[in-house]
């Protein structure tokens, strides 16, 4: 099957260049390529070694070993065996708080790069490096299998991955020596594997992807051979792993054993044991599982059957079904308007999933004939083939999974591109200044669904400088967002009266430029862990400071509009709030903010000065 070409001029054997498709999964990764004549996607590997567990074990010399061999080390060397890296990709320590208990390895927060790191035997690795180790293994596997050079790839990601996570995936590919031609959404890949694009009929497809570490439901519209993601929902912390954890907890409870008395090795061993039990029962629902497991003098009975399994995973499955409902709501569709369902992810082999989906969608065809753990890689290979120029008939459209916006006064998020917008897209909006003579304006770009930017992910910022001095509210500053199909965001700011302009290409916070990727290879220094509570408190402090500032300015500018009593009442509340700021107590600060806010709110309306009024209401870009 591997083809070799000979350069007639030099007589040398030339290796083909193959573009591969890679499913870089939380739990398992696979690589596939497209065979020609007849054209069909094929997995790299022999029957039972196509699946590469996404696990990296570092041996005593800190040399990485990837795959099944690494997975076998989890129980023995939990602190040297890294799994579920995809959950860490593009995340900072705050994102992960309280979600790392089950990991046997150490997670560290590096302040400087705003990226988590993993400490293995005194060496520090970030998720991009760890993912690149897995990708390199897949690249080499494909190269030896195909006897070809593999330096171009399509890599899939869950549809709800944000820009940072997509960029991090690209960077990992680059670090592994792969030119990542495109990042493709997993549901799109799965639909391609089923060849849904090859019929003329327009279709609405719901892709239910329940893997090891992530759950993801997407609704795709297929029109004239063109895919478009119209809604996505999901959870990066919901997967088969969670069912395994439930089983572990069930056993511990049944045996009256506290998790605390087990060491990390034992917890990992139990975890793997639970996964096996789950798979056995899901494959043979009528045969209960029961084996005894010994940890020193602790003996554990591990009985579990299908009924218990359904019971203890009911909540997890219910969450996935709720996401399905939300995706329908987002897409404004009834279950009957779905034409096809595609099952993706190893956990959909659990019969309960099929049962629940078929009662939710009584008349809809559920596609499950391609192995759910292979379907994404196969589809990625189809996409790779398209990008290699072998199929010109298909086009892919995508949507942005999270809202993109800028920070406005009071640290509020102002969304320019809402989530689920089709990309590429371009949006513009006008802003102005909030103080007289303001000549610089900070434009800080964020991503996320929360109202406060401090709760969202910062992608970058720049300063529009040299705005001619004008009264507050007078400058017209147009901000343009352009998001291209690779997920790169260009932000342009222009003051329309003077024409001064500035444009910036925003790389996601965790995304790395070429030189940074190189520098990253040298391990960074360990930094102190961020205090998450401090951040929450800081938000209240910022809000208070902002309000004190505007209230004081209001008094000095417009004191004449207020009565003696009102001036006194305002000053009193400003002083009270200043006093509360010294307490460092978030709730008290917020109550002081509310008191001052409530008191001064009616004053704003008395004033004709647009800028001050607006500043008090908080809808202007924060001044510098
Ligand atoms: P990911 O996309 O997250 O890497 P996969 O699609 O490979 O994951 O799915 C891995 C998950 O599927 C694991 O949690 C595994 O335990 C689960 N799984 C595999 N086979 C079965 C089965 N027969 N029944 C239930 N779950 C299974
Ligand atoms: Mg998957």
Domain end marker among 488, 514, 540:
514
The atom number, within ligand 1, closest to the CA of 239 reads: 14
90, 168 in Cβ contact below 8 A? yes
| 86 in catalytic set | yes
What CATH number is attached to the domain comprising 610?
Answer: 1.20.1270.10
DSSP string across 355-405? HHHHHHSTT-EEE--S-TTTHHHHHHHHHHHHHTTS--S-EE-EE-SS-EE
243/375 same-domain check: no
- Measured CA to CA, the distance from residue 508 to residue 516 in angstroms comes to 13
Any atom of ligand 1 within 6 Å of the Cβ of 272? no
Nearest ligand for residue 54 CA: 1
Question: Which residue of the set 110, 113, 163, 209 is catalytic?
Answer: 209
Closest CA to 128 of 180, 185, 71, 85: 85
Q: For position 486, what pLDDT does the model report? A: 67
Who's near 284: CB < 8 A, 6+ residues apart? none
The atom number, within ligand 1, closest to the CA of 28 reads: 4
| 23 in catalytic set | yes
Closest CA to 373 of 341, 346, 343: 346
Q: How many Cα atoms within 13 Å fall on the side-chain side of residue 615?
A: 24
Q: For position 620, what pLDDT does the model report? A: 41
Question: Which residue of the set 110, 186, 269, 373 is catalytic?
Answer: 186
Nearest ligand for residue 26 CA: 1
User: Is residue 412 one of the residues assigned to a domain?
Assistant: yes
Ligand 1 center to 241 CA (angstroms): 8
| Structure confidence by residue, pLDDT tens digits, 192-244 | 999 988 877 889 999 999 999 889 999 999 886 677 888 988 887 899 989 99
Any atom of ligand 1 within 6 Å of the Cβ of 345? yes
258/328 same-domain check: yes
Any atom of ligand 1 within 6 Å of the Cβ of 284? no
Any atom of ligand 1 within 6 Å of the Cβ of 239? yes
User: Is residue 216 one of the residues assigned to a domain?
Assistant: yes
**What angle in degrees, to the nearest 10, is found between the helix axes of 163-175 and 514-521?**
70
Residue to mutate (ligand 1; options 347, 351, 352, 370; most atoms within 8 A of CB): 347
User: Is residue 389 one of the residues assigned to a domain?
Assistant: yes
Any atom of ligand 1 within 6 Å of the Cβ of 210? no
9/47 same-domain check: yes
364/480 same-domain check: no
Ligand 2 center to 213 CA (angstroms): 8
206, 323 in Cβ contact below 8 A? no
Ligand 2 center to 376 CA (angstroms): 7
267/251 same-domain check: yes
144/292 same-domain check: no
- Ligand 1, atom 12, lies closest to the CA of 346
Any atom of ligand 1 within 6 Å of the Cβ of 86? no
Q: For position 229, what pLDDT does the model report? A: 83
Ligand 1 center to 345 CA (angstroms): 6
- Ligand 1, atom 13, lies closest to the CA of 212
User: Is residue 133 one of the residues assigned to a domain?
Assistant: yes
343/298 same-domain check: yes
Q: Which two tokens stand for residue 165?
A: 């996570």
184/232 same-domain check: no
Nearest ligand for residue 274 CA: 1
User: Is residue 91 one of the residues assigned to a domain?
Assistant: yes
Q: For position 618, what pLDDT does the model report? A: 42
Q: Which two tokens stand for residue 38?
A: 């007849």
Any atom of ligand 1 within 6 Å of the Cβ of 212? yes
| 203 in catalytic set | no
| Structure confidence by residue, pLDDT tens digits, 42-77 | 999 987 789 999 999 999 999 999 999 999 898 888
Q: For position 154, what pLDDT does the model report? A: 95
Any atom of ligand 1 within 6 Å of the Cβ of 234? no
Any atom of ligand 1 within 6 Å of the Cβ of 71? no
Q: Which two tokens stand for residue 93?
A: 């320590």
In this structure, are strands 395-396 and 365-367 parallel, antiparallel, or unpaired?
unpaired
- Ligand 1, atom 18, lies closest to the CA of 346
Nearest ligand for residue 187 CA: 2
Q: For position 536, what pLDDT does the model report? A: 58
Q: For position 6, what pLDDT does the model report? A: 47
Ligand 2 center to 111 CA (angstroms): 30
Ligand 2 center to 249 CA (angstroms): 25
User: Is residue 525 one of the residues assigned to a domain?
Assistant: no
Any atom of ligand 1 within 6 Å of the Cβ of 41? no
Any atom of ligand 1 within 6 Å of the Cβ of 213? yes
Residue to mutate (ligand 1; options 346, 351, 374, 375; most atoms within 8 A of CB): 346
Nearest ligand for residue 71 CA: 1
Closest CA to 435 of 325, 549, 583, 603: 549
Ligand 1 center to 297 CA (angstroms): 32
181/238 same-domain check: no
Q: For position 15, what pLDDT does the model report? A: 54
Roughly how many angstroms between the first and final C-alpha of the chain, as a whole number? Answer: 64
Ligand 2 center to 191 CA (angstroms): 13
Domain end marker among 369, 388, 410:
369
21/131 same-domain check: yes
Q: Name the residue with tokens 């327009």.
A: 202
- Which stretches in the chain have pLDDT values below 50? 1-8, 11, 14, 112-113, 508-535, 610-613, 615-624
The atom number, within ligand 1, closest to the CA of 210 reads: 6
Domain end marker among 514, 543, 563:
514
Domain span at residue 343?
Answer: 197-369
156/250 same-domain check: no
- Domain total of the chain: 4
User: Is residue 556 one of the residues assigned to a domain?
Assistant: yes
User: Is residue 624 one of the residues assigned to a domain?
Assistant: no
Question: Which residue of the set 23, 275, 340, 383 is catalytic?
Answer: 23
Ligand 1 center to 350 CA (angstroms): 9
| β-strand partners of 501 | 494
What CATH number is attached to the domain comprising 408?
Answer: 2.60.34.10
| 59 in catalytic set | no
479/537 same-domain check: no
Residue to mutate (ligand 1; options 23, 27, 53; most atoms within 8 A of CB): 27
Describe the strand order of the beta sheet including 106-110 as a list of residue ranges: 106-110, 115-120, 123-125
What CATH number is attached to the domain comprising 227?
Answer: 3.30.420.40
């Amino acid at each position: 099957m591997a083809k070799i070409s000979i350069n007639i001029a030099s007589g040398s054997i030339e290796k083909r260049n193959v573009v591969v498709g890679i499913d870089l999964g939380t739990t398992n990764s696979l690589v596939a390529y497209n065979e020609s004549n007849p054209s069909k996607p094929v997995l790299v590997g022999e029957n039972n070694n196509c699946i590469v567990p996404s696990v990296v074990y570092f041996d005593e010399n800190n040399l990485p070993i990837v795959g099944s061999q690494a997975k076998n080390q989890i129980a023995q060397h939990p602190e040297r065996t890294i799994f579920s890296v995809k959950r860490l990709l593009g995340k900072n320590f705050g994102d992960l708080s309280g979600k790392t208990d089950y990991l046997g390895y150490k997670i560290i927060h590096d302040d400087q790069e705003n990226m988590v790191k993993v400490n293995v035997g005194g060496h520090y690795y970030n998720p991009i490096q760890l993912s690149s180790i897995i990708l390199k293994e897949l690249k080499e596997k494909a190269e030896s299998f195909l006897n070809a050079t593999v330096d171009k790839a399509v890599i899939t990601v869950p549809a709800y991955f944000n820009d940072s996570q997509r960029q991090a995936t690209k960077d990992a590919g680059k670090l592994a020596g792969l030119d990542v031609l495109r990042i493709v959404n997993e549901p799109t890949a799965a639909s391609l594997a089923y060849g849904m694009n090859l019929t003329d009929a327009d279709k609405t497809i719901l892709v239910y992807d329940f893997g090891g570490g992530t759950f993801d439901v997407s609704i795709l519209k297929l029109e004239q051979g063109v895919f478009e993601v119209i809604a996505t929902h999901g959870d990066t912390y919901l997967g088969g792993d969670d069912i395994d954890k439930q089983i572990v907890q069930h056993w511990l409870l049944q045996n009256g054993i506290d998790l605390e008395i087990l060491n990390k090795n034992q917890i990992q061993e139990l975890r793997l044991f639970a996964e096996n039990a789950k798979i056995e029962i899901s494959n043979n629902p009528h045969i209960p599982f029961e084996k005894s497991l010994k940890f020193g003098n602790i003996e554990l009975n591990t009985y579990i059957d299908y009924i218990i399994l359904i019971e203890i995973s009911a909540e997890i499955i219910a969450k996935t079904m709720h996401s399905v409902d939300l995706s329908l709501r987002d897409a404004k569709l009834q279950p009957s308007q779905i034409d096809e369902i595609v099952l993706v992810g190893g956990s959909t082999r659990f019969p309960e999933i099929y049962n629940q989906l078929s009662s939710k969608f009584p008349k809809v065809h559920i596609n499950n004939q391609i192995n759910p753990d292979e379907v994404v890689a196969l589809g990625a290979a189809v996409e790779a083939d398209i990008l290699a120029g072998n199929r010109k008939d298909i086009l892919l459209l995508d949507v942005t999974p999270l809202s993109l916006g800028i920070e406005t006064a009071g640290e509020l998020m102002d969304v320019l591109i809402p989530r689920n917008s089709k990309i590429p897209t371009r949006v513009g909006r006008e802003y102005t200044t909030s103080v007289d003579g303001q000549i610089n304006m900070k434009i800080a770009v964020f991503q996320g669904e929360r109202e406060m930017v401090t709760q969202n992910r910062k992608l970058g910022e720049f300063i529009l400088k040299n705005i001619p001095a004008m009264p507050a509210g007078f400058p017209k500053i147009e901000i343009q967002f352009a998001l291209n199909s690779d997920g790169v965001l260009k932000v342009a700011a222009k003051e329309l009266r003077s024409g001064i302009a500035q444009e910036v290409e925003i790389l996601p916070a965790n995304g790395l430029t070429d030189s940074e990727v190189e520098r990253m290879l040298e391990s960074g220094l360990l930094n102190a862990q961020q205090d998450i509570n401090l951040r929450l408190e800081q938000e209240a402090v910022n809000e208070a400071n902002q309000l004190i500032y505007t209230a004081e300015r209001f008094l000095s500018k417009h004191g004449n509009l207020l009565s003696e009593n009102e001036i006194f009442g305002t000053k009193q509340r400003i002083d009270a709030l200043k006093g509360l700021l010294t307490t460092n107590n978030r709730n008290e600060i917020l109550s002081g903010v509310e008191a001052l806010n409530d008191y001064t709110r009616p004053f704003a309306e008395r004033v004709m000065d647009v800028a001050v009024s607006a500043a008090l209401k908080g809808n202007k870009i924060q001044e510098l």
